[in-house]
Structure 1
Amino acid sequence: MSDANPSRLSRLLAMVPYFLARPGIKVSTAADDLGVSEHQLQTDLEQLYVCGLPGYGPEHLIDIQFWDGYVSVVFTAGMDRPLRLTGPEANVLLMALNMLSETRGAVDADAVRSAIAKIEEAMGTTRRAVSADLPAAPAPPVDGVIRQALEDGQSLRITYYTASRDEVTERTVDPIRIRAVDGNSYLEAWCRSSEGVRLFRFDRIESAHGTGEVSQPPVEALHRTDPTDLGALTGELPTAHIEIDPEAVWLLEYFAAEPDDELSEEPTEPITATIRYGSPQWLARFVLGFGGRVRVRSDVDGVTSLIASTAKAARSRYGS
């Protein structure tokens, strides 16, 4: 008996050729082979009664008879052997698998490479996928720790770099699932310090280790249907009003900043804008990086004094 637990759809697709090759097989034996209970097998067989060819009259439907604990196939409706991929279907699947293999942490890389090799062998191709030929690069240690924590249902203690705040924090999280978005892998988890669902990008998790505690995210977090906002992974960001000299207006295209007034042409005078920032430290470094061409118009989170103290500390390093 196999330890695999196929989905009901894949089981139904394979069931007709399975019984066709084993006429008069016992229900109990078939249930063991297919890894289901006898009750589930009977439910599956009853489902097959209403499957068949277009037209869906009695003469078009799959006919499987089972009585006194035995099963036989009378009419297969063309499902005489397990379904096989067509050439175009296999090529599309190979493209998807190769993309997955390049997405860190989203899947088991060894399993993907094995699937690629098996599909190409089944297709009888003369070439081999580059990713299947080259030795696999070792995955970063945190990837395995995260995947193992998900499998074991264990909470994690992670060290995480938040780009929007330009800071590194320690967090205890309850893993929910791994998501692949725009070529990046994210751990979706309940963050205990933020008390909410957050996404943690794999390549920004500097370290991770299991806590030994059972992962227990709230029920509503496990069954949420709304997509997690990738634009605010750690909550809504505050805003600040800044003044920008004409030669630095280009920053509006690269940072989360919006001009207070519509710009009809290249400005010749300083303009004002609203910018989102992750932390006062990040905002201070941002302003200082423009060498006086960007200024904070209102003191938020004490950033004005922070800018002054940071600049003073920087100048002192160059003192005699």
Structure 2
Amino acid sequence: MTSTDRVGRLLTLVPYLLARPGISVDEAAADLDVTDRQLREDLELLWVCGLPGYGPGDLIDMAFDGDRVTITYDAGMDRPLRLNQDEALALIVALRMLAETPGVGERDAIERALAKLENAAGEFAEAPVAVRMAGNADRLEEFRKVVQRRRALRITYYTASRDEITERVVDPMRVLVMSGKSYMEAWCRRAEAVRMFRIDRIDAYEELAEPAAPPPQARSAEVRDSVFTPTPDLPLVRLRVDRSARWITEYYPCEEVHRDADRWVVTMRVADLGWARRLVLGLGAGVTVLSPPDLVAVVGGEARAALDAYVAP
């Protein structure tokens, strides 16, 4: 069950329970096609959802009579959603942007949602707004032509995993699109290996007079669901994550996920421990590093240093 599935179910749950006061948890779980345990977890989550202010009078409230539940305060979720002009236009622009993004899946669903929203918005949908993905489709075509010219390139590239900008000479091999992102695959003379360069992270490039000449050992990577393919030689990281950080199991390739009631233990390969450090620190209290020891030490040291910064002199 993904986070998106759960959000959709939670939005349905309050009106469903309002229409059936005193319904048993077993019956509600059967109707919603979830387990009793999952439904109880959803009800616990609803207890901390509500209106801005989030005080006792703002949060969704329920009453239990044995195994039966009744909504006593719905925080306004009994009313159908009504969008004003700005909200409707913002959604239309966002959906049009998704539709313009190369490689996005579920395009039929996007088109259907956009058509329904434009129909409901009426004349608001005709506002003079043009949507284009800057630096995406145009730049993709630009680099396709660069690769076709078969010239070596000197590029200035931002490496997100190490948070650094480098200059390198590469021999382009091909351009591809994965998960809405455009990449140039090339032999990197600095790394002496084939590398994938995200096109939107190439800050500048210069075509050289010499032809592109990848060496015989340069082979294009087999790309399926993701540009990043974990291999056994990459560092193995084990994390204990709570509910707030479980989304990483949907977003990143994981080798193992051991689930229990409170916390999950996630095992994943990473291209760079520096990237893993930034991921973990960004997740805050939602994650604990179990291994490798080097990552445990680095994250622990930076976390303690951050806490020390709050100590009053």
TM-score range with shorter-chain normalisation?
0.3 to 0.5
When normalised by structure 2's length, the TM-score is 0.45
- Over alpha carbons, which structure has the higher Rg? 1
